Amino acid sequence: MSTQDPPRPHQPFSILALLRARCPACHQGKVTEGLIGIRPKCATCEYNFYPESGFYLGAIAVGFLLTAALTIPPMIALKLMNVEIEILLGFPLVEFLFLGTFLTFYSKILWLHLEYKMSRSLESLDRVMDRESNPSAGTPNSP
Ligand SMILES: [Zn+2]
């Protein structure tokens, strides 16, 4: 993006951009580099994919929640169907054999999109609070 381009309007949350691992700000640039690496910034809009050091440690919590959501309900269903204990205990092992890399990857992408959504929400809240605390700002009669 050159310095003369107008800033792109902020994009709303998009599940399609999340699933395609695209930038949360412009939905165009790829987040990934190589197979599962994360680029330093967006090639299209230069949005920083590393807002702070250790940023992706928060993705561990997202990964835990995704894992729990994909494991606990099926295990309850298997228990209610009275399957054998070996199948019940083997289910999570087989599930993560196939889904482990996928979950780790998408927990990072989801964490990046959540951070973008939260920072935009906080920015708009700051603007509202500035207007409320100084309602005369911007009017011609302000002192
Ligand atoms: Zn972008």
Instruction: Please enumerate in sequence order all residues whose Cβ is within 8 A of that of 23, keeping only pairs 6 or more positions apart, or say none.
Output: 17, 29, 30, 31, 42, 44, 45, 47, 49
CA of 115 to the centre of ligand 1 (A): 14
The whole-number average pLDDT for the span 15-33 is: 94
Structure confidence at residue 101 (pLDDT): 82
CA of 1 to the centre of ligand 1 (A): 10
CA of 87 to the centre of ligand 1 (A): 44
CA of 55 to the centre of ligand 1 (A): 18
Query: For residue 11, is pLDDT > 90?
Result: no
CA of 111 to the centre of ligand 1 (A): 16
Structure confidence at residue 142 (pLDDT): 46
Q: Is the dihedral of CA 17, 23, 28, 33 positive or negative?
A: negative
Instruction: Say which amino acid occupies 41.
Output: K
The whole-number average pLDDT for the span 78-91 is: 93
Q: What are the φ/ψ torsions at residue 12 (nearest 5 degrees)?
A: -75, 165
| pLDDT above 90 as % of the chain | 58
CA of 13 to the centre of ligand 1 (A): 13
